[in-house]
Amino acid sequence: MEATSEPLLDAKSEVTNQLVDFQWKLGMAVSSDTCRSLKYPYVAVMLKVADHSGQVKTKCFEMTIPQFQNFYRQFKEIAAVIETV
């Protein structure tokens, strides 16, 4: 497979999905079937995304705190780029 240096998306690319809603909450896993004491913090994220036809789909996932911090930083960087377009 040959590598390419061209970007996957540029400012002229057509966006086919739109972020409608973004919700998150901090949680703490305290136990599971196999472990009595986890004390494991996590972030639960729910995204609502509309496709080109307007149909809204919900995507839910969980991240560790460091993963969420990285996700948030990337989201802010994307927002800064979008503001310049």
Buried b (16+ CB within 10 A) or exposed e, 12-44: eeeeeeeeeeeeeeeeeeeeeeeeeeeeeebbe
48 is a domain residue: yes
pLDDT in tens, the chain (85 residues): 444 455 555 555 566 788 899 999 999 887 777 777 777 889 999 999 998 888 999 999 999 999 999 998 998 998 899 888 7
28 is a domain residue: yes
Give the residue numbers spanning the domain of 42.
17-84
Predicted structure pTM score: 0.64
40 is a domain residue: yes
2 is a domain residue: no
Count of domains for the chain = 1
7 is a domain residue: no
8 is a domain residue: no
5 is a domain residue: no
Q: Give the CATH number of the domain where residue 58 resides.
A: 3.10.450
